[in-house]
Structure 1
Amino acid sequence: MATAFADIEPVSPEAGSAQDQTESKVTQTSSQPEQGAKGGAPAAPAWNMQAVVSKYGKAFLAPLLGIVAFLALWAVLAPQVDTSLGALPGPVEVAGQGVALYDEWQASNEAKAEFYAAQDARIAAGTQAMAFDYAGPPTFLDQVFTSLKTVALGFVLATLFAVPIGLAAGLSPMFNAAINPLVQIMKPVSPLAWLPIVTMVVSATITSADPMLAKSFVISAVVVMLCSLWPTLINTAVGTASIDKDLLNVGRVLKLGWFAKLTRLVLPSALPYIFTGMRLSLGVGWMVLIAAEMLAQNPGLGKFVWDEFQNGSSQSLARIMFAVIVIGLIGFLLDRIMMAVEKFASRNRTV
């Protein structure tokens, strides 16, 4: 009768004695730390340096060493590069301008508070009939927040357009074939080419003397939308088209409506693709935004960089380099935020 265990071969006496000797050595070796502990000798540590380095090296030590090496190389090579504004600023000079920009923001807030306090006093005393807005120049932090609002509006508009079109293209091969040439033609168009067209259209559309949103703000947001919607559209179409056909057949058998089919089958399956496209779109939009703000003269990081370049003072180059670092850090944080949103949205995905 067959059994579930393998046949065990007989062991010779010589092999048995060798095995007994090996077991006795292992027993002696394993009992040595216990004897040392009983005898009062210090026990060996439970960890070793190699395990710690292998665990935390890639996550913390290697990036830290890379940043330190980059800063050291920058500090050594920067004084050797001469420009029309003097030597290239090093890390210390750039950090100093970052502190100066923060001080300017604090001083601007104090001046703004004093302006409104004095205005309220004049209105209460009856010497001023109406209130006016503070007309001081925007500071660096103010322009950072303006850029974030601009890219947020452009990203939301791009997502609202790209996701429905991508879902339709993924579910309908005929619709996909119809829009594919347009997508391939429009996708590589530069924001510099879109900007004149968008400017004329927005200027003709917004004719109010006091619009709810400034024209320059709308122009920058629309340019960001036109340049950043393509990764989301393409990834959504690919994710929708790659859904298991058996799921769709189950939907037909259960006679699910189009909305139930979309929310219970299509979207959960295509969600990783959609979020990958949204992450790419957000990165593209943040890059496009700087060029759009430069040309549209919308207050933001792009305009800040352009104004400092036109200023040409001895501090301009350090301020531009600080703005470049801030742009990179914000792009990194935006990508991490999208990763966190993707994890949160996918935690209850059932398909």
Structure 2
Amino acid sequence: MKQSITLGKVTRIIGLGFLVTIKDLFTGKMEREQFKDFLRKFIVPIASIVLFIGLWHMGAKTLYNIEASYKVDKAATEQGQEAADAMRACIASGDVSCQPNTLPSPLQVWESYKSLLRDHNSIAADKRAFKEKTAALNAKRLAKGKDPITYTGRPSFVDQIFTSLKTVFAGFLLALFIAVPIGIVIGLSKTLRSSFNWLIQIFKPVSPVVWLLLVFMIVKTLTKDSNSDSAFIISFISVGLCSMWATLVNTAMGVSSVDKDYINVARVLKLGPVQKVFKVILPSSLPLIFTGLRITLSVAWMVLIAIELLAQSPGLGSFVWEEFQNGAIDSNSKIIVAMFIIGTIGFLLDRMMLTIQNMVSFNKNDGI
């Protein structure tokens, strides 16, 4: 029975159940509770999306009209009525040179999204052509022990997304490898918890900018004569140090709050310290540890943009800053595209961590 219910839920998710629900709705076979469930799961979310886009469109139009009126009034004040009429006509014609540069509409953002995809396809084609042209030459250089010639063109928006993902996962792994072992050690000892609590409370709220500057000083000193990508190293270490504290605190809390009956059972079975940690303490602490890891990954993704911007790493942070400085008519639209991409990826990363948590934990969590 449980398997059939689960399969039914999966079927509804992939669409077949939705079609059956629509059929029941129009044929009058849907019960009252089913109708309420249908409204909550499908109609209300769709309506909220439409409302959001409608409010966005009206807000963008209002700001556009305010900025247009300001430009016309300014032209009239500084250059006379003839210049104001010319400015009004220029704005009405859609000329890029005189368009108000304010909050873009949903349609403008969509066009910028398609423009970024076209740009990515163009850059990808250039990379393939470059690779084909230099394939024979690079083979000869490698045979002689020389470094191959690499493509040095600008990265596309999609390339910058993957750079940011690589950086955030490297920082997350660093945070995991630092915070979980230290959290276990601290959680096993009341003395260590009281000894290190002051350090955690002081460093936990430190700004990512401060961590970046500290890491920058250390990495630049250690990689002066190195050919490694110092911007990437600085970025992922800063991300890891900024985001590890939630995992550290939750791991220590989870380990310290393990049921004493489990510890007594471990003593009866004469488990060694390592066995006790891996067979008793860690399984019992997994829910809190994964809660900390979810927070760590979310914090890592949030601070990444600011860190990439300051470290000049070619990721989404660099993209947003370049578009802001560019000041082109479509720069605001591209920044909002990046905002939606950043938010969507952050949501997917959190869902990924929640799925892993439910796979390895006894306590299932449907968290939001």
Q: Same fold (TM over 0.5)?
A: yes
| 1:186-236 CA distance string (max 9 Å, x none) | 00000011111110101111233422xx10101111111111001111111
Moved more, 245-254 or 112-121: 112-121
- The answer on whether the counterparts of 1:143 and 1:301 sit within 8 Å (CA) in structure 2 is yes
Question: 1:250 and 1:124, CA in 2 relative to 1: closer, same or farther beyond 3 A?
Answer: closer
For 2:50, the equivalent position in structure 1 comes to: 68
Counterpart selection for 2:105 from 73, 77, 90: 90
Query: 1:57 Cα deviation (Å)?
Result: 3.2
For 2:17, the equivalent position in structure 1 comes to: none
For 1:177, the equivalent position in structure 2 comes to: 194
Query: 1:339 Cα deviation (Å)?
Result: 0.8
1:168 corresponds to 2:185: yes
Counterpart selection for 1:224 from 233, 239, 248: 239
* Correspondence 1:262-273 to 2 at 5 A: 262-273=277-288
- The answer on whether the counterparts of 1:243 and 1:269 sit within 8 Å (CA) in structure 2 is yes
Q: Aligned partners of 1:133 and 1:122: how far apart in 2? A: 11
For 2:344, the equivalent position in structure 1 comes to: 329
What is the one-letter code of the residue matched to 2:289?
Answer: I
- The answer on whether the counterparts of 2:287 and 2:363 sit within 8 Å (CA) in structure 1 is no
TM-score by length of structure 2 reads 0.77
Larger radius of gyration: 1
Higher-RCO chain (CA-CA 8 Å, sequence separation at least 6) = 1
- The answer on whether the counterparts of 2:232 and 2:313 sit within 8 Å (CA) in structure 1 is yes
Residue-pair matches, total: 301
Question: 1:125 and 1:342, CA in 2 relative to 1: closer, same or farther beyond 3 A?
Answer: closer
Question: 1:81 and 1:116, CA in 2 relative to 1: closer, same or farther beyond 3 A?
Answer: same
Q: Aligned partners of 2:277 and 2:38: how far apart in 1? A: 43
| 1:241-286 CA distance string (max 9 Å, x none) | 1111111112112211011111111011100000000000000000
* Correspondence 1:113-192 to 2 at 5 A: 113-120=128-135, 131-192=148-209
Counterpart selection for 1:52 from 34, 38, 42: 34
- The answer on whether the counterparts of 2:168 and 2:239 sit within 8 Å (CA) in structure 1 is yes
Counterpart selection for 2:60 from 72, 78, 96: 78
Aligned alpha-carbon RMSD (Å): 2.3
Q: Aligned partners of 1:125 and 1:186: how far apart in 2? A: 52
- The answer on whether the counterparts of 1:85 and 1:317 sit within 8 Å (CA) in structure 2 is no
Counterpart selection for 2:303 from 274, 277, 288: 288
Question: 1:73 and 1:341, CA in 2 relative to 1: closer, same or farther beyond 3 A?
Answer: same
Query: 1:63 Cα deviation (Å)?
Result: 2.1
Secondary structure, counterpart of 1:87 in structure 2: coil
- The answer on whether the counterparts of 1:79 and 1:87 sit within 8 Å (CA) in structure 2 is no
Question: 1:47 and 1:245, CA in 2 relative to 1: closer, same or farther beyond 3 A?
Answer: farther
What is the one-letter code of the residue matched to 1:331?
Answer: G
What is the one-letter code of the residue matched to 1:238?
Answer: M
Q: Aligned partners of 1:97 and 1:221: how far apart in 2? A: 29
Structure 1 vs Structure 2: percent identity of aligned residues? 44
Query: 1:135 Cα deviation (Å)?
Result: 1.0
For 1:299, the equivalent position in structure 2 comes to: 314
For 2:81, the equivalent position in structure 1 comes to: none
Moved more, 165-174 or 315-324: 165-174
Question: 1:235 and 1:124, CA in 2 relative to 1: closer, same or farther beyond 3 A?
Answer: closer
